[in-house]
C-alpha cells in the first residue's frame, strides 16, 4: 500500500476530528476539572476508535465503494437503511451548516484583513462555500493534498498557542474537582462529539482500496493524534484559567479574550483565531467529503447517475441556504447532533457487525472484544443519548 495514501488518510481522519468541537472542550470541562475530563476523553476516544474498527470489519463483507447507506441496506434491510440515512443526513447537514456559517463569517474578516475590502456576510459565505465545494467535488485525492497543507499550518498555530500558554499553567487549577456533579454527565455529549470522524470512513476505505492493515493504522493513529492534542489543549486552558472564571465566561470569544488577558499577550487572540479558522476548515472538508460520498452512493444506487457536479450541488446548497437565511437556526439542531452521531458511530456499527459475524465464516478480519465489547459500546451509546435528552428537557444543566 502507498505510504503517502496512508499518511493522507491518517491526516484526513485527524483533521476531520480536530474541528470546532475542540474549541468547546475547555468550556464543557470548566465545571468538571482536568482529571475528570481526561478520564472521559480517553474513554470516549477508545470507544470511537473501537467502533471505527468495527466499520472496517463490516467493509470486508461489502463492496469497496460502499457507504453507510449501502452497508445498512445490506445488513439491516430497508428499515436500517432509512435509519442510517436519516442519522447521516441530519448530522452532516447540521455540521455543514454550522461550518459554513462560522467559516463564512471568519472568511469575510480575513478578506478585510488582507485586502481592506469590505464584503457582505452573504458574499463571503458564498465564496467560502464555493472554494470548499470545488475542492471536495474534484475528489478525495484533492482533499488529501489541501488537507495536508492546512493540517500542517494548523499544528504550527496550535504549537504557538501551547507555547504562549504553557508557562502560565497553574497546578492548583488542574487539580480542581468538579463544581457540580450534573456537569460531569452534561459534558459527555460535547466531548463525545469532539471525537467524531466516522462519516469519512467509507471515503477512506475506498481511497485505501479496502486494505485492512492500512485502514487500521490510519484509524488508530489518525484518532490518537486528536486525543494527544486535546490533552495538551486542556492542560494549557484549564491550567491557565480557574474554573469559576471559565464558568463565568462561557462562549468561544469570551474564552479567547480571557486567555489573552490572563497571559497578557494580545497576539494570542490572533493566533487562536487562526487556529480556530483552520480547525473549522479541515473539519468542514472531512465532513463535507463524507456527505458527498454518501449522496453520490445514494444517487448511483437509485439509478440517477453519478455526476460529481450534481452531487456537489446537493451536498453544499442546502446547508449554505440554511446558513445564509437562518444564521442562528442551526444552534438548536446541533444540540441533537450527539444523538445522531451515537446512531451513526456506535449503534449502527455494533448492530451491523453482529449481523456480519452471523453471516461470515470467520475468515475475515474481526475486532477484538467479542460480544462483551459490543454490549459495553451499546450501553455507553445509550447513556450518551440519555444525557443529551436530559439536557434538552432541563434535567441536566446546559453547557455554554
In angstroms, rounded to a whole number, what is the distance separating the alpha carbons of residues 169 and 244?
Answer: 16
Domain boundaries, the chain: 3-392
Residue 399 is predicted with a pLDDT of 64
Q: Show the cell assigned to 175.
A: 487539580
What DSSP character marks residue 345? I
Summarised one tens digit per residue, pLDDT across range 133-172 is 998 888 878 888 888 888 888 888 888 888 888 888 888 8
Rounded (10°) CA dihedral 248, 254, 256, 259: -30
Residue 53 is predicted with a pLDDT of 94
pLDDT tens for the chain, 400 residues: list them: 677 888 888 988 887 787 767 777 887 888 888 889 999 999 999 999 999 999 999 988 888 778 787 888 888 888 888 888 888 888 888 888 878 877 777 777 778 777 778 888 788 889 889 998 998 888 878 888 888 888 888 888 888 888 888 888 888 888 877 767 677 888 888 889 889 888 788 888 888 888 888 999 999 999 999 999 899 889 988 888 877 777 776 666 567 677 777 766 667 777 877 877 887 787 788 788 888 887 887 777 666 666 888 888 999 999 898 888 876 655 455 667 788 899 999 999 999 999 888 877 666 788 888 889 999 999 999 999 998 888 888 787 766 5
Query: Cell 490533552 maps to which residue?
Result: 231
> Is the whole model's pTM more than 0.85, yes or no?
no
Query: CA separation (Å) from 230 to 61, 115, 210?
Result: 34, 34, 29
* CA dihedral over 67, 72, 74, 80, signed as positive or negative: negative
Helix, strand or coil for residue 169?
coil
Residue 46 is predicted with a pLDDT of 95
Q: Show the cell assigned to 256.
A: 479567547
Backbone angles phi, psi at 321, to 5 degrees: -60, -40
Neighbouring CB atoms inside 10 A of 265's CB total 15
CB under 8 Å to 258, separation ≥6 — which residues? Answer: 241, 245, 246, 249
Identify whether the C-beta of residue 12 lies closer than 8 Å to the C-beta of residue 204: yes
The CATH class for the domain spanning 3-392 reads mainly alpha
Summarised one tens digit per residue, pLDDT across range 93-111 is 888 887 887 777 777 777 8
Identify whether the C-beta of residue 353 lies closer than 8 Å to the C-beta of residue 374: yes
Identify whether the C-beta of residue 383 lies closer than 8 Å to the C-beta of residue 178: no
Q: Show the cell assigned to 331.
A: 444552534
In angstroms, rounded to a whole number, what is the distance separating the alpha carbons of residues 62 and 64?
Answer: 6
Amino acid at each position: 500500500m502507498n505510504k503517502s495514501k496512508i499518511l493522507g488518510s491518517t491526516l484526513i481522519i485527524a483533521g476531520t476530528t480536530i474541528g470546532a468541537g475542540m474549541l468547546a472542550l475547555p468550556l464543557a470541562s470548566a465545571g468538571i476539572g482536568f482529571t475528570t475530563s481526561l478520564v472521559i476523553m480517553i474513554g470516549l476516544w477508545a470507544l470511537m476508535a473501537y467502533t471505527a474498527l468495527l466499520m472496517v470489519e463490516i467493509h470486508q463483507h461489502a463492496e469497496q465503494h460502499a457507504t453507510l447507506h449501502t452497508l445498512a441496506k445490506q445488513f439491516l434491510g430497508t428499515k436500517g437503511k432509512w435509519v442510517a440515512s436519516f442519522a447521516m443526513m441530519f448530522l452532516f447537514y447540521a455540521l455543514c451548516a454550522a461550518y459554513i456559517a462560522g467559516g463564512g463569517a471568519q472568511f469575510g474578516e480575513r478578506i478585510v484583513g488582507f485586502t481592506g475590502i469590505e464584503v457582505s456576510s452573504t458574499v463571503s459565505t458564498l465564496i467560502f462555500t464555493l472554494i470548499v465545494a470545488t475542492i471536495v467535488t474534484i475528489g478525495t485525492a484533492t482533499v488529501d493534498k489541501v488537507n495536508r497543507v492546512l493540517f500542517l499550518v494548523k499544528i504550527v498555530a496550535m504549537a504557538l498557542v501551547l507555547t504562549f500558554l504553557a508557562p502560565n499553567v497553574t497546578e492548583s487549577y488542574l487539580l480542581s474537582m468538579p463544581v457540580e456533579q450534573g456537569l460531569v454527565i452534561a459534558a459527555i455529549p460535547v466531548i463525545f462529539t469532539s471525537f467524531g470522524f466516522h462519516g469519512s470512513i467509507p471515503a477512506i476505505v475506498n481511497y485505501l482500496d479496502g486494505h485492512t492493515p492500512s485502514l487500521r493504522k490510519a484509524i488508530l493513529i489518525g484518532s490518537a493524534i486528536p486525543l494527544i492534542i486535546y490533552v495538551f489543549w486542556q492542560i494549557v486552558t484549564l491550567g491557565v484559567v480557574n474554573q469559576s472564571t471559565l464558568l463565568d465566561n462561557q462562549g468561544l470569544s469570551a474564552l479567547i479574550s480571557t486567555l489573552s488577558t490572563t497571559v497578557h499577550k494580545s497576539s494570542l487572540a490572533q493566533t487562536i483565531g487562526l487556529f480556530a479558522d483552520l480547525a473549522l476548515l479541515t473539519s468542514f472538508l472531512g465532513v463535507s467529503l463524507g456527505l458527498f460520498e454518501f449522496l453520490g452512493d445514494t444517487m448511483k444506487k437509485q439509478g440517477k447517475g453519478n455526476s460529481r457536479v450534481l452531487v456537489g450541488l446537493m451536498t453544499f446548497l442546502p446547508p449554505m441556504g440554511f446558513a445564509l437565511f437562518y444564521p442562528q437556526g442551526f444552534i438548536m439542531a446541533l444540540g441533537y447532533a450527539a444523538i445522531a452521531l451515537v446512531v451513526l458511530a456506535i449503534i449502527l456499527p455494533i448492530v451491523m457487525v453482529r449481523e456480519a459475524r452471523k453471516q461470515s465464516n470467520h475468515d475475515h478480519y474481526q475486532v477484538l472484544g467479542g460480544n462483551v465489547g459490543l454490549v459495553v459500546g451499546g450501553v455507553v451509546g445509550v447513556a450518551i443519548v440519555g444525557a443529551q435528552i436530559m439536557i434538552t428537557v432541563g434535567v441536566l444543566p446546559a453547557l455554554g
